[in-house]
Structure 1
């Protein structure tokens, strides 16, 4: 599952194409609609994914594509580009520049290349198996966290947890506040994982994500020295159900799983 410089360069061109499609709609007329699952979609989401798909079809036509807005396109290489044109559409609609474009290359079910691109602030995290994660070309590193009670925890929204998962999440919140912490940070979607990769957060926990929500995050976080897994401690793959832990300090994973108290849940 070797990642080449050409793969990384192609991922960069995809991010460039998506950003060029998104920026004209930001804080402007974005044509909001609600999809069948009641999630929002805008002209920017669709334009960005179409732009990325066009690049892949032109430059790597045998690879498969799995996109949030336009579904699956088959390939025959064992390689799939997984695209989320705007992760954090609610933030995009509100004019908050904490959404991001997610681009992943998944090979035989394993995420091996990931990009988190914030096109307004022009911040781009790139992670690839066997290589250090970078932010705008400079190496990004997670930070050490010597005790879970002092961990800075983030999640997109407490409302995204189902009732069962919410109980486990709140147990983790209690554990991170044991030393008088200030509680979790809400909002941010994929941007939180970039902040964790750069050493500004210690822990991000979510549930119910889809592959286009998490595939790009894994190489970014792990290439920066962190670890990602599901709520049972297993690696994240295309078959994962979407309960996600990202820890900046891998030494805290067992503490996190114990606080969640849901191994095999």
Structure 2
């Protein structure tokens, strides 16, 4: 595994996606299509053109790798590595003009994600983690990723994309966690995981996701020192139910509440706030 080539390829894909998405963001010419016959799941020209641009980079630089993309499906490979692409995670935010969407790039081997990137073109922020790298690059320079530690559940901040999360049973589990934390906020899509990776929030809980929604963010959060699993504590890179936490302690408490085992929770204690690597 040529790490330098992987880093350079991911950067080239993110740059190509920026060139496709930014001219259409907040554009009057953007007209979303609906993937569903019932409900609303938008897709835009920007989604399609950005994924095509990323696939073109891979075809030139790493043609032996497999691809899993939201808009154009799976392409087989022979290297044992799979790039997982979501050209615009948060298309609803994109068409609303809100800068909480992002381009997701993940790289998986047989064990799961080994590298990931969350790129926000409008703010110029690039969160990158895995293969020995964990950094945020922005107009302010470069800084190391690092989750926030020492926060009790009762003082934690929780993010999720939709307030009406999942099924009725999933919603009940989520509400148990939400009722136990200090602050719950909604609607940030992949940017929630980016904020977790730099110590701004403490928990992200979602349901009904796909691999392309989470492969990149998992690698970023893990590189920052966080924990990401499904609601049963197992691997999360296949999608479905996701719980990402800054610390093992918060993760265990969130799992207990999600599973309806509130009695396992220890009394909340406030500790001095620290950040991984600080």
Fold shared by both chains (TM-score > 0.5) = yes
Count of residue correspondences: 254
Partner of 1:192: 192
Partner of 1:135: 136
Is the 8 Å Cα contact of residues 145 and 151 (structure 1) preserved in structure 2? no
Partner of 2:155: 150
Alpha-carbon separation, structure 1, partners of 2:2 and 2:83 = 13
Is the 8 Å Cα contact of residues 67 and 84 (structure 2) preserved in structure 1? yes
* 1:128-175 superposed Cα distances (whole Å, 9 cap, x missing partner): 14x241000421111114311111001011224221100100011112
Alpha-carbon separation, structure 2, partners of 1:7 and 1:45 = 23
- Residue 88 of structure 2: which of 86, 89, 94 is its match? 86
Q: Please list, as runs of the form range in 1=range in 2, the aligned pairs for 1:70-109 lying within 5 A after superposition.
A: 70-109=72-111
Point out 4+ residue stretches in structure 1 off by more than 3 angstroms.
none
What is the root-mean-square deviation in Å for CA atoms of aligned residues?
1.5
Is the 8 Å Cα contact of residues 17 and 50 (structure 2) preserved in structure 1? yes
Q: CA deviation at 1:6?
A: 1.3
Is the 8 Å Cα contact of residues 213 and 239 (structure 2) preserved in structure 1? no
Q: Please list, as runs of the form range in 1=range in 2, the aligned pairs for 1:56-71 lying within 5 A after superposition.
A: 56-71=58-73
Q: Secondary structure at the match of 2:208?
A: coil
Is the 8 Å Cα contact of residues 231 and 262 (structure 1) preserved in structure 2? no
* 1:4-47 superposed Cα distances (whole Å, 9 cap, x missing partner): 12111111111000011000001002231001364100010011
Q: Please list, as runs of the form range in 1=range in 2, the aligned pairs for 1:199-238 lying within 5 A after superposition.
A: 199-237=199-237
- Residue 172 of structure 1: which of 173, 177, 186 is its match? 177
* 1:217-247 superposed Cα distances (whole Å, 9 cap, x missing partner): 111001011111110111323xx34210111
Gaps of 5+ in 2: 262-278
Distance of aligned partners of 1:73 and 1:27 in 2 relative to their CA distance in 1, 3 Å threshold: same
Query: If the length of structure 1 is used for normalisation, what is the TM-score?
Result: 0.92
Query: If the length of structure 2 is used for normalisation, what is the TM-score?
Result: 0.88
Instruction: Please tell me whether residue 163 in structure 1 is matched to residue 163 in structure 2.
Output: no
Is the 8 Å Cα contact of residues 3 and 112 (structure 1) preserved in structure 2? no
